[in-house]
């Protein structure tokens, strides 16, 4: 489905938005205290318009395109960025074409298609570093055509869009006032590294603006099956490294370095380090967040928490240190993980008499 810009609307100075940002910061009621973290907080990016922090990127990117008179988005995505861009393109009247990684969940693809985006799944894209690099190079050529713009959630490709993500840190600075304490640690999941780098740069700009004296420690957390940044950061290496991605955690299957070197440097400069977690641990915490905190998130959104709990277990965090984990996306994003979460639960169909009998015959 192709969308054409409306000729009746002057879009040159339109502050285009679907209401992204200003997401809540929620204190943990169960997981934190149980782990010995009295000040564990969750930043709920899952409540953005399309269900992830990527809406911040899409808003900044699409506003820039409208100012430049560009009408066609070329993008790559494992799901969340594609959904965000597809939604904002639909609302702005722009055309949207997305190359999706091989293992992107069907539920995320359907969300993109619901907004009218055109999709192509590329074999090997996302888990094979050579195919991924070649795919990105081709997408860049498509994005260089007249009227088009390449929109990928990485500073390497789209610094203007990524600047929109930096607002997360500015919001955290403001929300820290409600806590009454400066945030000391932020745990961020990483695929290509763009989110963590945006958080780091957001805090850096807050320091320049004198709304923050010094940044929190920013910690990079990755699945063991996609160790491009966290391992090198932890081990004292100077650069990130490509890998063959084997993790099943959607959104974090990024075999190439992309923004990894810059994130590694930014985390290290803040005093942060890297953590590697298993897929099984991530699924366990995804379910725990739902059942103990009322937070319904996709697996990638539980990765930061897995890192924070690992840090607590290793004695790296003080009990009263304000800690923030970014909850990056909604549980509706990944139907497979949702099916896994409730696999042992049933919803039987009963007659009213049988239902009443199950409750002691109360009528």
Name the band, by pLDDT with cuts 50, 70 and 90, for residue 362: confident
Q: What is the 3-state secondary structure (H, E, C) of the chain?
A: CCCCCCCCCCCCCCCCCCCCCCCCEEECCCHHHHHCCCCEEEEEHHHCCCCECHHHHHHHHHHHHHHHCCCEEEEEECCHHHHHHHHHHHHHCCEEEEEECCCCCHHHHHHHHHCCCEEEECCCCCCCHHHHHHHHHHHHHHHCCCCEEEECCCCCCCHHHHHHHCHHHHHHHHHHHHHCCCCCEEEEECCCCHHHHHHHHHHHHHHHCCCCCCCCEEEEEEEHHHCCCHHHHHHCCCCCCCCCCCCCCCCCCCCCCCCHHHHHHHHHHHCCCEEEECHHHHHHHHHHHHHHHCCCECHHHHHHHHHHHHHHHCCCCCCCCCEEEEECEEHHHCHHHHHHHCCCCCCCCCCHHHHHHHCCCCC
Instruction: Compute the distance between CA of residue 54 and CA of residue 164 in angstroms, rounded to an integer.
Output: 9
Instruction: Compute the distance between CA of residue 217 and CA of residue 201 in angstroms, rounded to an integer.
Output: 13
* pLDDT of amino acid 78: 83
* pLDDT of amino acid 6: 37
* pLDDT of amino acid 360: 86
Name the band, by pLDDT with cuts 50, 70 and 90, for residue 5: very low
> pLDDT by residue (tens digit) across 267-288?
999 999 999 999 999 999 999 9
In whole numbers, what is the pLDDT of the chain averaged over residues? 93
The least confident of 82-96, 138-152, 347-361 is 347-361
* pLDDT of amino acid 363: 64
Residue 216 in this model has a pLDDT that exceeds 80: yes
Residue 8 in this model has a pLDDT that exceeds 90: no
Mean pLDDT (whole number) for 42-47: 98
Residue 34 in this model has a pLDDT that exceeds 50: yes
* pLDDT of amino acid 11: 38
> pLDDT by residue (tens digit) across 159-206?
999 999 999 999 999 999 988 999 999 999 999 999 999 999 999 999
pTM for the whole structure: 0.92
Residue 15 in this model has a pLDDT that exceeds 80: no
Name the band, by pLDDT with cuts 50, 70 and 90, for residue 14: very low
User: Higher pLDDT residue, 98 or 1?
Assistant: 98
Domains of the chain: 25-51+163-341 (3.40.50.1100), 54-161 (3.40.50.1100)
> pLDDT by residue (tens digit) across 120-137?
999 998 878 889 889 989
Highest mean pLDDT among 3-12, 296-305, 339-348: 296-305
């Amino acid at each position: 489905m192709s969308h054409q810009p409306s000729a009746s609307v002057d879009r040159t100075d339109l502050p285009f938005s679907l209401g992204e940002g200003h997401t809540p910061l929620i204190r943990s009621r169960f997981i934190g205290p149980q782990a010995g973290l009295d000040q564990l907080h969750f930043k709920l990016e899952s409540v953005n318009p399309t269900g992830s922090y990527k809406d911040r990127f899409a808003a900044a990117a699409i506003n820039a395109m409208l100012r430049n008179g560009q009408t066609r988005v070329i993008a790559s995505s494992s799901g969340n960025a594609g959904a965000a861009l597809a939604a904002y393109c639909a609302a702005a009247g722009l055309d949207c074409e997305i190359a999706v990684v091989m293992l992107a969940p069907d539920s995320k693809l359907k969300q993109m298609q619901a907004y009218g985006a055109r999709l192509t799944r590329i074999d090997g894209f996302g888990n094979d570093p050579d195919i991924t690099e070649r795919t990105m190079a081709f997408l860049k050529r498509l994005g260089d055509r007249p009227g088009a713009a390449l929109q990928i959630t990485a500073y390497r490709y789209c610094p203007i869009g990524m600047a929109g993500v930096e607002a997360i840190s500015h919001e955290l600075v403001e929300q820290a006032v409600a806590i009454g304490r400066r945030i000391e640690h932020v745990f961020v999941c990483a695929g290509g590294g763009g989110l963590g780098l945006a958080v780091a740069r957001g805090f850096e700009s807050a320091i320049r603006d004198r709304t923050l004296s010094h940044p929190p420690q920013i910690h990079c957390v990755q699945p063991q099956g996609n160790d491009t940044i966290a391992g090198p950061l932890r081990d004292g290496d100077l650069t990130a490294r490509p890998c063959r991605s084997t993790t099943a955690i959607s959104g974090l299957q990024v075999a190439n370095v992309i923004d990894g070197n810059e994130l590694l440097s930014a985390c290290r400069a803040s005093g942060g380090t890297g953590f590697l977690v298993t897929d099984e641990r991530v699924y366990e915490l995804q379910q725990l967040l739902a059942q103990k905190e009322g937070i319904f998130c996709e697996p990638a959104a539980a990765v930061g928490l897995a890192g924070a709990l690992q840090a607590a277990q290793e004695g790296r965090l003080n009990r009263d240190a304000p800690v923030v984990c970014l909850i990056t996306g909604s549980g509706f994003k990944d139907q497979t993980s949702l099916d896994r979460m409730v696999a042992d639960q049933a919803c039987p169909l009963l007659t009213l008499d049988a239902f009443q009998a199950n409750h002691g015959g109360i009528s």
